[in-house]
Chain A
């Protein structure tokens, strides 16, 4: 593997994180908070080390699939390790493993918290918590690809490893332009939501932080009651933007280049909207007795459906207390997740679509053994490789789920809590059922369980394989030929 390019990219990631950390620092300065110094300190160190690591340019820019996967997972681990430090330095989250849990939950846009009292933390910490959602939503390497002119053929490997979905494609021929377009769309959605929230009556700080949490489909809030105490208009804005952020960004691009017809024929979006409104209606009828009007019941149902399927994890009501049918529907939605190529997590609608179609074809094949039938999506035949990765993904997903549930059940919580805690972290949602429901949090778990859940969050955000590949011994093999990499690089120098 080309270690020097990995070092170079990781240093860029570190420098970028340093620059990001200046933002909460500025927020702290505006509100006159002492905690800002912790952010300034970490920011300064990160920028220093980041730029130091970039001084020596790598000789070769070659990076292959393996290197791309490793770079992406290392970047995310590095981002988390550094991003957690200010929480400890400010003393707001005294234990490092808790701080790490919090920041991983932020970056992976999960929104699961270990904080018992969210309202007690300083403004800059609250800002940083929500801002990590924004960074993690579209991905930091995609941002680096958009900003730094890292010309080379390798960057598609990076983008593919970081962007969610069964088959990641480009919008335009150049990776860099693609990344720029994605971030531009992301930025526009962000600004529109901030403006909408301010019109609806929120102050700038609240509007901005909550927007980061929505468009990144994260779910960190500013209040202990999450979103419940905000007005109806604000809640509707959240619903709309949660849904918008979990639709494949290619749809927006197609609309932008005036191919709206093609955009509306996008099957994944149609399935997504059908699932959203179908389950909202089912839940509405299941819970309507507890509400004054049918509209309020529908609004509440739609909000919960949006928050779960977009894997955001805001809460307006405690759906723990809802009838079992509604809870089961929500549990199913947890598994489904958002569309591929969006900022949301989960299994992804397109994968579910491909699975459903494979199953249908298999049934036909059982009935008529000589049938030849291919799986299509958006009017195009899907290759066996794509289908194979979807099937393997499901397998890996289920196995990680089972192993994680077994591991965290050592703590002795009930099955509902354990199962939904893993579901909520692996799918990057946030709240689950039982003890980790909308009103609870993850602080009750032991350190070991937290580590397992952190792993689940990272694996879920990066879609399993970039993280799983780290367990492959071949990745760590630094010898090739009869000389080690070190010897080769020494000789080259």
Chain B
């Protein structure tokens, strides 16, 4: 597809890099020549210098042949204007980043009346992700499949867990649980395990199951599954407001520590139910006083990455709280992941990821058997949802007899709207949708998975 991205900031750059890798024709627009040059050096995209909301600049980027325009500059109004002009000039799909909370209540009106395909609010998306993590604090990450009827829960095996040194084929009988270990990350490796695979401590495993079954599975392992009831948030930015609103609705006690007095007044006005503490969140005494050792979850969400990481490390040393750290800079994610500071949330990355998911869905709906495509584990694993047609070679064969290629796994089968986790005897029928999890990229059809 031909894609135009306006704004070469962090989000724009992440998007450009990822979309280029997926084989799309990407053109980037920014006012700053340097940013455009850097980006077109770093990946295979065409750069145009100029104001993205200008008609002539958009024409130079060939907007009348583009399929989609994504406006992710720092300014909401400029983004909306870019999309409006692109809509009129090229008739393409448009996506805008709009983050001002003032607009957030009117988002669907704006989207419909201005004819946008999608509006993304980075802070809100980050807040949603954090809320999801807090609902099930034991997991590092949760992804949803099959219209949210199945989920993939990522979790780190602790030392002494009953799963350690267990072969996967014995798991079903010992735990009496019908979930499937789909992906194992061990050190640098990503493995799609088979029955003989033996789990070890410190592995990061991702399991597929229906929401009910995964909760049951974790309960059997003795891992807490209830959502956090008590949360401390350091930093009162926009993300905090969105998050606090969601958490308060869920009935969670929220305590926000914010340095700026005026901001505290605003927060208290907007979030009457939350406890607002005016103080320096990096002050050790204050944190101890406010019960950091007893809290169930601790979120470091100041505007400074370094402060957030330091706070998370400090909290880790004193409490057993679930940690969530907000990090803006995307470039050092590997190092931060090594620090083991719980769940790290990158708002910019989430924004890019959400947009990319939308584009993939759009692209895949243009003729191909893939219903949806998800990229997991740093893009090293793909989960593809296929619709099974009448002539498919996988129909009617029990899975244990189906010769799949290496590193392929059928993760779940949806039969007449009923999600089931496959066993060896399971059979795929015509009209089912299946989810295939694989480390091989570029599959187009389920028959590509068969030997």
Contact = CB atoms under 8 A, between A and B. Distances in A.
Interface of A: 65, 151-153, 155-157, 170, 172-177, 383
19 contacts: A65-B41, A151-B44, A153-B20, A153-B41, A153-B42, A155-B44, A156-B41, A156-B44, A157-B41, A170-B46, A172-B46, A173-B20, A173-B25, A173-B26, A173-B27, A174-B25, A175-B44, A176-B44, A383-B33
Interface in B32-72: 33, 40-46
A466 B213 CA distance: 62
B33 A173 contact: no
B6 to A, nearest CB: 15
Contacts of A175: 44
A4 to B, nearest CB: 20
Nearest to B40: A156
B108 to A, nearest CB: 33
Contacts of B33: 383
Nearest to A153: B43
Contacts of B46: 170, 172-173
Contact of B44 (A65, A174, A383): A174
Q: Give the 6 A-B residue pairs with the shortest CB-CB distance, closest first.
A: A173-B46, A173-B25, A153-B43, A170-B46, A173-B26, A175-B44
A221 to B, nearest CB: 40
A177 B41 CA distance: 17
Contacts of A172: 25, 46
B319 to A, nearest CB: 39
Nearest to B4: A173
B359 to A, nearest CB: 15
A178 to B, nearest CB: 9
B284 to A, nearest CB: 37
Contacts of A155: 44
Interface of B: 2, 20, 25-27, 33, 40-46
A65 B42 CA distance: 11
Nearest to B25: A173
Contacts of A151: 44
B31 to A, nearest CB: 13
A152 B25 CA distance: 14
Contacts of A170: 40, 46
- Interface hub of B25, B33, B43, B44 (most chain A Cβ within 10 A): B44
Contacts of B26: 173
Contacts of A157: 41
A440 to B, nearest CB: 45
Contacts of B45: 173
Nearest to A380: B49
A93 to B, nearest CB: 42
A151 B20 CA distance: 10
Given A170-B40, A173-B44, 14 more contacts: A151-B44, A152-B44, A153-B41, A155-B44, A156-B40, A156-B44, A157-B41, A172-B25, A172-B46, A173-B2, A173-B20, A173-B26, A173-B45, A176-B44
Contacts of B40: 156, 170
Contacts of B27: 173
A13 B321 CA distance: 58
B44 A153 contact: yes
Contacts of B41: 65, 153, 156-157
A130 B2 CA distance: 40
A175 B43 CA distance: 10
A62 to B, nearest CB: 10
Contacts of B20: 153, 173
Most-contacted residue by chain B among A65, A153, A156, A176 (CB, 10 A): A153
A358 B26 CA distance: 34
Contacts of A174: 25, 44
A407 B199 CA distance: 72
B24 to A, nearest CB: 8
Contacts of B44: 151-153, 155-156, 173-176
Nearest to B42: A153
Contacts of A156: 40-41, 44
B210 to A, nearest CB: 39
Contacts of B2: 173
A175 B42 CA distance: 13
A207 B164 CA distance: 76
Nearest to A383: B33
A173 B33 CA distance: 17
A250 B46 CA distance: 15
B85 to A, nearest CB: 20
A377 to B, nearest CB: 14
A65 B38 CA distance: 12
A153 B33 CA distance: 19
A174 to B, nearest CB: 6
A173 B28 CA distance: 9
B170 to A, nearest CB: 37
A175 B41 CA distance: 11
A235 B74 CA distance: 60
Nearest to B49: A380
A465 B407 CA distance: 47
Nearest to A65: B41
Nearest to A152: B44
B245 to A, nearest CB: 40
A156 B20 CA distance: 14
A264 B224 CA distance: 71
A153 B25 CA distance: 13
A156 B41 CA distance: 7
Nearest to B39: A153
A15 B20 CA distance: 29
Nearest to A155: B44
Contacts of A177: 25
A170 B37 CA distance: 12
B92 to A, nearest CB: 15
Pick from A170, A173, A177 the residue with the most CB of B within 10 Å. A173
B12 to A, nearest CB: 14
Contacts of B25: 172-174, 177
B35 to A, nearest CB: 13
Contacts of A65: 41
Contacts of A153: 20, 41-44
A52 to B, nearest CB: 28
A157 B37 CA distance: 12
A172 B33 CA distance: 18
A173 B2 CA distance: 9
A202 B26 CA distance: 46
A108 B44 CA distance: 28
Nearest to B46: A173
Contacts of A176: 44
A257 to B, nearest CB: 9
A337 to B, nearest CB: 26
Which of B2, B27, B45 has the most CB atoms of chain A within a 10 A radius of its CB? B45
B57 to A, nearest CB: 11
A155 B20 CA distance: 13
A289 B2 CA distance: 60
A76 to B, nearest CB: 23
B27 to A, nearest CB: 5
